[in-house]
């Protein structure tokens, strides 16, 4: 399987509303706000990334904004994603949360804004309505020009279908955990078939898959690192990877994935791997406070 058509970091996927999104994003989950995030974001942009992924819950939006400005690259040439946190659900709170993120980032608009986690039945019997009201805030802010595109994260088919019952604008993106050893491929396929771009958080399994012998043997065939294999695996599934590293050399090398193609046999071998590196975060099982640092 090779759904990849991208050949550089500036090549883009096109969202349902025509907005272009650079094909690999630099992830910032767990990157601290002690100057590290600013430095890493600037480095990533210098190394050629044009897409940065953050979230209100990561506590580093302000430093992402600083890194963007320090890079000297024009705002219009960059794509910035951030996410709405679970404590801010509901229409009015969502509108305020968007303004807070804009202020923290120091930006006039956000390229892509995502619902970080769905409200689920276990959290509230009114979960559908709560998600619908949050989403209405997204639609209002998008119409006001504050958001160029909107989507969800960690949603499963039932959460998205529930949103469709009331929404005016359908989610354009579903960002989920995706890496060798945990692909959630039914969700990937269904989301892609229903007009959403799937993005991969923890495309390297948060580092947990990097020592796996099967992956090491496959990566060696192509003279690539396991991290590069993982990033390329996502692209060949038509999934947008969001690798993260705080090491400048790894930031660069993680995006050097356009000079090899994983064979169909090796793609299948990766799909056939047992579960590995799964975060254990599931929208239906985890109480909201267990996700607080996610």
Q: Which residues bind ligand A2P (CB under 6 A)?
A: 27, 202-207, 210, 225, 227, 243-247, 250, 253-254
Among candidates 166, 167, 158, which has minimal Cα distance to 282? 158
CB of 250 to ligand A2P, least distance (A): 4
Among candidates 261, 250, 273, 210, which has minimal Cα distance to 7? 261
CB of 232 to ligand A2P, least distance (A): 12
Question: What is the signed CA dihedral for 244, 248, 251, 255, rounded to 10 degrees?
Answer: 180
Nearer to ligand A2P, 193 or 223 (CB): 223
CB of 247 to ligand A2P, least distance (A): 4
Q: Residues 49, 58, 113, 155: which is the catalytic one?
A: 58
CB of 32 to ligand A2P, least distance (A): 11
Nearer to ligand A2P, 163 or 237 (CB): 237
Q: Where are the alpha helices (DSSP H) in the chain?
A: 36-46, 61-71, 91-105, 127-143, 157-164, 185-193, 213-221, 226-236, 248-253, 264-271
Among candidates 96, 112, 101, which has minimal Cα distance to 13? 112
Judge contact between 26 and 242, C-beta under 8 A: yes
Token pair 């930006």 is found at: 107
| Active-site residue, 58 included | yes
Q: Output the CA torsion sign for 98, 104, 109, 112.
A: negative
3-class SS shares of the chain: helix, strand, coil, % to 5: 40, 15, 45
Q: Mention every residue, 6+ apart, whose C-beta is less than 8 A from residue 82.
A: 53, 54, 55, 56, 61, 64, 101, 105, 110, 113, 114
Nearer to ligand A2P, 181 or 283 (CB): 181
Q: Which residues of 203-229 are buried (b: 16+ CB within 10 A; e: fewer)?
A: bbbbebbbebebbeebbeebebbbbbb
CB of 243 to ligand A2P, least distance (A): 5
Nearer to ligand A2P, 114 or 210 (CB): 210
CB of 173 to ligand A2P, least distance (A): 18
Nearer to ligand A2P, 52 or 119 (CB): 52
Nearer to ligand A2P, 153 or 254 (CB): 254
What is the set of active-site residues? 58
């Amino acid at each position: 399987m090779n759904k990849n058509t991208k050949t550089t970091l500036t090549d883009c996927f096109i969202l349902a509303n025509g907005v272009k999104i650079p094909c690999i994003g630099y992830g910032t989950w767990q990157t601290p706000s002690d100057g590290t995030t600013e430095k890493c974001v600037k480095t990533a942009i210098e190394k050629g990334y044009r897409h940065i992924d953050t979230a209100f819950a990561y506590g580093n939006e302000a430093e992402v904004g600083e890194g963007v400005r320090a890079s000297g690259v024009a705002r219009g040439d960059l794509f910035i994603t951030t996410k709405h946190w679970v404590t801010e659900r509901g229409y009015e709170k969502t509108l305020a949360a968007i303004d807070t993120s804009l202020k923290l980032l120091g930006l006039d608009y956000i390229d892509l804004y995502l619902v970080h986690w769905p409200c689920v039945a276990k959290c509230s019997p009114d979960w559908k309505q709560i998600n619908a009201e949050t989403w209405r805030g997204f639609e209002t802010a998008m119409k006001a020009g504050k958001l160029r595109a909107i989507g969800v994260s960690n949603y499963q088919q039932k959460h998205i279908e529930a949103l469709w019952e009331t929404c005016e604008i359908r989610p354009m993106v579903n960002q989920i955990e995706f890496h060798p050893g945990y692909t959630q491929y039914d969700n990937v396929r269904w989301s892609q078939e229903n007009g959403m771009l799937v993005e991969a958080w923890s495309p390297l399994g948060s580092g947990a898959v990097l020592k796996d012998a099967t992956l090491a043997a496959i990566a060696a065939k192509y003279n690539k690192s396991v991290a590069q294999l993982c990033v390329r695996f996502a692209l060949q599934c038509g999934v947008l990877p969001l690798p993260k590293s705080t090491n400048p050399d790894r930031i660069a090398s993680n995006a050097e994935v356009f000079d090899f193609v994983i064979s169909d046999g090796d793609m299948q071998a990766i799909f056939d791997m047992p579960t590995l590196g799964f975060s254990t975060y599931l929208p239906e099982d985890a109480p909201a406070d267990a996700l607080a640092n996610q």
